[in-house]
Structure 1
Amino acid sequence: MAYPLHRPAPSAPSSQSEPLGVPASPDLPALEQDVLAYWKADGTFVASVEAREAGPDGSNEFVFYDGPPFANGLPHYGHLLTGYVKDVVPRYQTMRGHRVERRFGWDTHGLPAELEAERILGITDKSQIEEMGIAAFNAACRESVLTYTHEWEDYVTRQARWVDFEHDYKTLDPTFMESVIWAFKQLYDKGLAYSGYRVLPYCWRDQTPLSNHELGMDADVYRDRQDQTVSVTFPLVGERAEALGLAGVRAVAWTTTPWTLPTNEALAVGADITYAVVPAGPAGTSAGTGPFLLARDLLPGYAKDLGYAAPDDAVAAVSRELSGAELAGLRYERLFDYFADAEKYGTQDAWQVLVGDFVTTEDGTGIVHLAPAYGEVDQGACDAAGIPTLLSVDDAGKFTAVLPDFEGQQVFDANMPIIRRLRDDGRLLRQASYVHSYPHCWRCRNPLIYKAVSSWFVRVTQFRDRMIELNQQIAWTPEHIRDGQFGKWLEGARDWSVSRNRYWGTPIPVWVSDDPAHPRVDVYGSFAELEADFGRLPRNEAGEPDLHRPFIDELTRPNPDDPTGHSTMRRIPDVLDVWFDSGSMPYAQVHYPFENADWFEHHFPGDFIVEYVGQTRGWFYLLHVLATALFDRPAFTSVICHGIVLGDDGRKASKSLRNFPDPMEMFDTYGSDAVRWSLMSSPVLRGGNLVVAEENIREAVRQVVLPLWSTYYFFTLYAGAADEGRGYLARAVDDERVAGLPVMDRYLLARTGELVAQVTAALDSYEIAAAC
């Protein structure tokens, strides 16, 4: 008998001291390739699934959600780490007797695909997409998103990860997309989807809004940026200022976004903050003789700007103090006259002092400049006061003709010209550089702006409390994530902006009348509903049903509510946030509710899911949002939330930085099992961060893999020669046989039993590192 027993024995041993088939010094990568070849020829993975019954209504199935990656780039260690967990847990559940199907999926929509297509096509501006045509651009997107599918299969297979690629799903499939628009229609019918006009994070390069949750996913979304800050004066005017003896007093407001000042429409003060009136000091100021108004606690920091030699001198010169509540309703002299025509712009209530609980004395002057088109808080405060939201910036982040002095300038480029204008007008008290943490687009990496846009929203705030309740039904690893990072995020959840002003994605299935005099909104949730109203399906050039743009945009019909017959129902041009696709994965992958309805009802929520900690604001979060809104259930019952993989320089592992060892080189040098052990045994699975270094992988070989192999080699050396050369075949032991064994054998069996119990307990609770 020769080990390994499942392989045919060679005709003769390679040496007198070496057993058949088991080398003393193994080539680990070659052995792994040999195992992979055997699995493929044997169909081992498929057999492991088919050998286990699903049970009544899937009672013996373990449902695992495989988060779909983008296939327009190669995997990195973050993917490998998650991939190993996605193999360890299903393998363990298979060993426990469960049927575990592992269907792979591909994320194919959204900005990642569009940006790659733009790179390939040499596109630098969104207008170029319109010029070339949406059909041609989306065709390029479709081609780019599946560029690396074969490479991904090679990586995943080389990991020794069992996955079903044959029955994979893609978010661009018509069946998947139909389930997604069904979900949107369900939300609309429940009153949970609505159209609104809100200030949102906005990428001027990609010309689309983002959701607030996208800014919370990765730490590198917020990066240090140096901007110019200005402190600007606003002379108080009007009858109320006269009555309070404040006429001519210059309120001082501080801002880090000078480009928003041409659309200033209000100032805000804190009701309980004490404000000081102080004249200009002996050295004078760059903004006139004053007097000036700012928070008393912040006055010392402005002593020099106000013309005083020392902070104490400025404080001693205070002539009067007032509470913020006393300042409410005061009018002031506007900075610019662009929106002075109240009849045209509705600004009759603008340029007044408002009271807001968001005003603090942590920095600045204690007086906040409000531009409602460019600040979420600004818009809320101004809306309440009847002050309109006035846009001055186009989709590309450039000033429009409404600001003729700055027309065509990109907002960040316009900061210095605006500051020069304020200085020339005698309104600039202070200018300074300011380094602060600032949000950047998570895809194109450009700094974002905040901008009022029309968008469709999911009314998350309406069922937020239920999301918090359902979260208690989920077993989180590590446990503190449930009520910590994820729970706290749920408590502050806002309505979700799902509109994207882009091209390649699932369309928002909303048609509106093109004549405001005859308003109508229609929302569709299936191919059948579309065909019923439009008389045909959207079809691509090949004649296949296709929900993508521009084919879906071609469906129009007369407005049934227009007796003149002149208006037409047209689809709004937006596509859904790609996270809506991702959050729809549990039901869309099986084309629910159009197919597999019974299967889905008995297999939802899923049993297990794993991703890195940033997905508490991404995939985990949106799965939870849609599952709560649509089914009043959590989307999954158990989750591992691992930490971030860092490169050897301590920064997040990045393909662009090349700060980690090439995975395939590590596989070819040390073997996948060594990489697997180094990742699975690390604190990263408990939420900590992990530095990937070749030395760690080398140590896994030296400390773990080779000692295990040596033990196996030692066993086969003697087991193969036992029983007069016939070999030893291990058999299960019963109590009677154990009782007759020598004490050392019984001790080894007892220790083995303890190990089995410990590993089983650890894996049952998803403590993979503890099982290593």
Structure 2
Amino acid sequence: MFNPVDPKVSFPEMEEKILAFWKERDIFRKSIAIREGAEEYVFYDGPPFATGLPHFGHFVPGTIKDIIPRYQTMRGRKVDRRFGWDCHGLPVEYEMEKELGISGKKAIEDYGIAKFNESCRSIVLRYTKEWRSIVTRLGRWVDFDNDYKTMEPEYMESIWWVVHRLWEKELLYEGYYILPYCPRCSTVLSNHELNLGGYKDVHDPSLTVKFKVRDEADTYFLAWTTTPWTLPSNLALTLGPDVEYVKIRDGVENYILAKDRLAAYYRDPQEYEVLKSFKGSELTGISYEPLFPYFKDLAAAGAFKTFNGDYVTTEDGTGIVHTAPGFGEDDYNTLKDTGIPVVCPVESECKFTEEVPDYAGLFVKDADKAIIQRLKDEGKLVKRDSYLHSYPHCWRCSSPLIYRAISSWFVDIGKIKKSMLAANAKISWVPSHVKEGRFGNWLENARDWAISRNRYWGNPIPIWKCDSCTEKVCIGSREVLKEKSGIFLEDLHKHYADEVTFPCSCGGTMRRIPEVLDCWFESGAMPYAQNHYPFENKEHFEAHFPADFISEGLDQTRGWFYTLTILAAALFDSPAFNTCVVNGLVLAEDGKKMSKSARNYTDPVKVLNNFGADALRLFLMNSSVVKAEDLKYSDEGVREVLKSIIIPLWNAYSFFITYARIDNFDPSPLPENPENPLDRWIMSEAERMTQEVIAWMDGCDLQKAIAPMVEFIDLLNNWYIRRSRRRFWKSGNDEDKAGAYRTLYRVLMRLVTIAAPVIPFITEEIYLNLRDETMPESIHL
């Protein structure tokens, strides 16, 4: 009845054979089709970019996103699993720029926006075949044939509907703020994107500069900065209202600085004489001479005076902050509503404009050296140091960011924050601390979301402005645009949408604003857009929202989880998902970030080919990485899983088959009340394992769900089989021997059924040999 078992099986080869079986028999599709009409379990899959290959960072959530749907399917539910692709955004543009040998916005525009966008389209799905191959080899069942793509017209049109609904709810506005900005990419980043690129320790020049007090001989304010390039845009100095300042004499000059900072500038108090003490609140409204001449005329508007700000401390510098409202949020807020204009003399690639003629055309940071030398030559430089600090970098190209004043379109988070917090309260997070911790804290402090990007390959913001008056119109569908313009767009991308104009009631022409949407907006809208909602599939969407389950890495608490939550709260006053499993980072064995250039980890495909997918899946899932903690990957760790779990399971199965073939064992009937206490004990343990696994799997706690399986494999091998061997070795076929066979058969079938979602290959292989003709053709059915 049973086929012989190779005790020295190659697990990777066995897995390839199972993959072929699944494909030939169409098992994945059948697992969904046979549950038509059953209760549904709804899963949303976040879209990756296909411009790079999958890596360990994709393997962890990918495995979680396979195990939970497999489990729910085996519990009788219908689980559709639709893959998706993030097709837009700077990662794609950046890749295309490298291929074309161009860099920056001007070079793209010279090349031609339409041609550039079509080039981006051509590479977006470059690695989809490789993704399909690797994801399938990992054992993940997901529908690649019915995938969604964020660049498809139907998907893009649903995004327009989302923008229009925000517009109708007065949650969308155009504002002028200080935002993180990438000079290389020439566009803003939203605050949640700051954490994606990470902060890196960098050395910047730190300067102490003297500002001459107007109408007071030889007296200067000492101010500190780590951004010399912003000094030409200085319009004010800011002091802490409760900070104690002193006016000191140093030689023939008088300096004003915080008393607590004197020791940072003078080793010996004998080097200076204190002339007077003040509170910062006493030092407001004092005029000083501009450091540079470029904006000196703004003195008439109230510039070049001292102000108070609660953010000023005495931890660094002089306790007096150089204030350039075009390049700092605190600076901007200090001078807000004072009538002093914001100056920001840089262009899209952060090179100085002709407003600063001495440095025009220079990238701002490249101007530091010349500015410092000029200050030194003019006798305005008091002290120069190097300052090591943590500084944000772009998540797309790793360039250091610049904070600058810029116009952008925002979602008003303040208006929907209560709804977002209420949505979070309904979500079950694994691990639970994410709810009130990393995600909850982020929501509490969330700022308005900058959703516009000054780029090209993306979904155009569907807002048209009149070129003659202030009229603005937000378009929510292609039909509405056709009604106004007579044109039905088959393709909604920028180089097509920008060509569409229509008359304004004033006689002017309505033209689309130039920005495209943040690609995080598109992924956050995937519950609606993947269904072309509300234009199609309205009932289907409403029956499948919110999702029962999603899963991604911890970084997505400020990425996809966040944008899903914003849009669901804004549109439906609801969470977008009910349960979220959050995984940590997979690091190299030395605890450092995995890096291709450093070659500090094994190629994941090689791991699959050497050890098999089951061993890798079990290594990853039976670790703290499924609890949002970091995991140091090592081949040795996977090898140990093979040795201590996978091979013992195979050995138990091999033991049974070897002796069952010798004795021509027929597994029926299965035991109900075995007489041997060992049989009763192992059956009881199998039942205990089953109940524990179900309880933990229902709560999506994979590590705790796997522990009883691992424990049972140990009990089966080292207790039950070891202490029952003589029962199988008997020459006769008495009832005790038959009971041992029936018991071992029963618990093996129970074990592989329970473990199938986690280690789908070896369990399928064992099941196919143990099953009889009355059973389903696959364990996963």
Whether 1:484 and 2:429 are equivalent positions in the alignment is: no
CA distance in 2, matches of 1:21, 1:595: 53
Whether 1:555 and 2:532 are equivalent positions in the alignment is: no
Name the amino acid aligned to 1:447: P
Q: Using the TM superposition, give the Cα deviation of residue 391 of structure 1 relative to its aligned residue in structure 2, in angstroms.
A: 1.5
Q: Match of 1:313?
A: 270
User: Which of 480, 494, 503 in structure 1 is aligned with 2:447?
Assistant: 494
Aligned residues: 706
Q: Match of 2:467?
A: 514
Name the amino acid aligned to 2:453: R
- Give per-residue Cα distances to partners, 1:350-405, cap 9 Å, x unaligned: 11111111111111111111111111111111113221111211111111111111
User: Which of 75, 78, 99 in structure 2 is aligned with 1:99?
Assistant: 78
Whether 1:750 and 2:710 are equivalent positions in the alignment is: no
CA distance in 2, matches of 1:208, 1:491: 26
CA distance in 1, matches of 2:166, 2:253: 56
Whether 1:301 and 2:284 are equivalent positions in the alignment is: no
Whether 1:332 and 2:332 are equivalent positions in the alignment is: no
Unaligned runs of 5+ in 2: 707-781
Q: Match of 1:642?
A: 583
Farther off after superposition, 713-722 or 364-373: 713-722
Q: Using the TM superposition, give the Cα deviation of residue 132 of structure 1 relative to its aligned residue in structure 2, in angstroms.
A: 2.0
SS at match of 2:365: coil
CA distance in 1, matches of 2:655, 2:8: 12
Whether 1:602 and 2:543 are equivalent positions in the alignment is: yes
Q: Match of 1:14?
A: none
- Give per-residue Cα distances to partners, 1:42-76, cap 9 Å, x unaligned: 11111111111444xxxx11111111111111111
Name the amino acid aligned to 1:158: R
User: Which of 515, 522, 527 in structure 1 is aligned with 2:478?
Assistant: 527
Cα distance change, pair 731–365 in 1 and its aligned pair in 2 (3 A):
farther
- Give per-residue Cα distances to partners, 1:403-430, cap 9 Å, x unaligned: 1111111111100111111112221111
SS at match of 1:607: coil
Q: Which structure features the higher share of helix residues? A: 2
CA contact (8 A) 1:250 1:292 kept: yes
Identity across matched positions, percent: 48
**Aligned pairs (5 A) from 1:118-133:** 118-133=97-112
* TM-score (ref. length: structure 2): 0.88
Cα distance change, pair 705–546 in 1 and its aligned pair in 2 (3 A):
same
Unaligned runs of 5+ in 1: 3-19, 239-245, 304-309, 539-544
Name the amino acid aligned to 1:189: E
CA distance in 1, matches of 2:418, 2:392: 28
SS at match of 1:237: coil
Cα distance change, pair 449–502 in 1 and its aligned pair in 2 (3 A):
same
CA distance in 2, matches of 1:159, 1:610: 17
Q: Match of 1:36?
A: 19
User: Which of 312, 325, 338 in structure 2 is aligned with 1:372?
Assistant: 325
- Give per-residue Cα distances to partners, 1:298-332, cap 9 Å, x unaligned: 111111xxxxxx34435x73221100111111111
Cα distance change, pair 732–530 in 1 and its aligned pair in 2 (3 A):
farther
Q: Match of 2:519?
A: 578
**Aligned pairs (5 A) from 1:670-689:** 670-689=611-630
Whether 1:79 and 2:58 are equivalent positions in the alignment is: yes
CA distance in 2, matches of 1:474, 1:209: 31
CA distance in 2, matches of 1:347, 1:389: 14
Q: Match of 2:240?
A: 270
Farther off after superposition, 618-627 or 599-608: 599-608
CA distance in 2, matches of 1:577, 1:648: 35
**Aligned pairs (5 A) from 1:204-223:** 204-218=183-197, 221-223=198-200
Q: Match of 2:711?
A: none
Q: Match of 1:628?
A: 569
Q: Using the TM superposition, give the Cα deviation of residue 656 of structure 1 relative to its aligned residue in structure 2, in angstroms.
A: 4.2
Name the amino acid aligned to 2:203: Q
Q: Using the TM superposition, give the Cα deviation of residue 225 of structure 1 relative to its aligned residue in structure 2, in angstroms.
A: 1.1
CA contact (8 A) 2:211 2:222 kept: yes
Q: Match of 1:769?
A: 703
Cα distance change, pair 400–728 in 1 and its aligned pair in 2 (3 A):
same
**Aligned pairs (5 A) from 1:349-748:** 349-515=302-468, 518-538=469-489, 545-560=490-505, 562=506, 565=507, 567-722=508-663, 725=664, 727-729=665-667, 737-738=672-673, 740-748=674-682
CA distance in 2, matches of 1:678, 1:272: 56
CA contact (8 A) 2:419 2:574 kept: no
SS at match of 2:535: coil
CA contact (8 A) 1:258 1:415 kept: yes
CA distance in 2, matches of 1:338, 1:661: 56
Q: Using the TM superposition, give the Cα deviation of residue 496 of structure 1 relative to its aligned residue in structure 2, in angstroms.
A: 0.7
**Aligned pairs (5 A) from 1:155-234:** 155-218=134-197, 221-234=198-211
CA contact (8 A) 2:302 2:339 kept: yes
Q: Using the TM superposition, give the Cα deviation of residue 163 of structure 1 relative to its aligned residue in structure 2, in angstroms.
A: 0.7
CA contact (8 A) 2:223 2:317 kept: yes
Name the amino acid aligned to 1:530: L
Q: Using the TM superposition, give the Cα deviation of residue 337 of structure 1 relative to its aligned residue in structure 2, in angstroms.
A: 1.4
Q: Match of 2:743?
A: none
SS at match of 1:470: helix
Q: Using the TM superposition, give the Cα deviation of residue 695 of structure 1 relative to its aligned residue in structure 2, in angstroms.
A: 1.1
Whether 1:112 and 2:123 are equivalent positions in the alignment is: no
CA contact (8 A) 1:464 1:490 kept: yes
Farther off after superposition, 463-472 or 546-555: 463-472
CA distance in 2, matches of 1:559, 1:380: 36
CA distance in 1, matches of 2:107, 2:214: 49
Q: Using the TM superposition, give the Cα deviation of residue 704 of structure 1 relative to its aligned residue in structure 2, in angstroms.
A: 1.1
Q: Match of 1:6?
A: none
Cα distance change, pair 491–339 in 1 and its aligned pair in 2 (3 A):
same
Cα distance change, pair 133–21 in 1 and its aligned pair in 2 (3 A):
farther
Q: Using the TM superposition, give the Cα deviation of residue 137 of structure 1 relative to its aligned residue in structure 2, in angstroms.
A: 0.8
Name the amino acid aligned to 2:562: Y
Whether 1:290 and 2:273 are equivalent positions in the alignment is: no
CA distance in 2, matches of 1:327, 1:684: 54
Name the amino acid aligned to 2:164: K
Q: Using the TM superposition, give the Cα deviation of residue 721 of structure 1 relative to its aligned residue in structure 2, in angstroms.
A: 3.8
CA contact (8 A) 2:201 2:390 kept: yes
Q: Using the TM superposition, give the Cα deviation of residue 731 of structure 1 relative to its aligned residue in structure 2, in angstroms.
A: 5.7
Name the amino acid aligned to 1:627: A
How much is the aligned-residue C-alpha RMSD, in angstroms?
A: 1.5
CA contact (8 A) 2:212 2:221 kept: yes
Name the amino acid aligned to 1:662: D
CA contact (8 A) 1:78 1:644 kept: yes
CA contact (8 A) 1:347 1:388 kept: no
* Stretches of 4+ aligned residues off by more than 6 angstroms: none
CA contact (8 A) 1:506 1:576 kept: yes
SS at match of 2:9: coil
SS at match of 1:137: helix
Q: Match of 2:212?
A: 235
Name the amino acid aligned to 2:210: T
Cα distance change, pair 615–731 in 1 and its aligned pair in 2 (3 A):
farther
Q: Using the TM superposition, give the Cα deviation of residue 583 of structure 1 relative to its aligned residue in structure 2, in angstroms.
A: 0.3
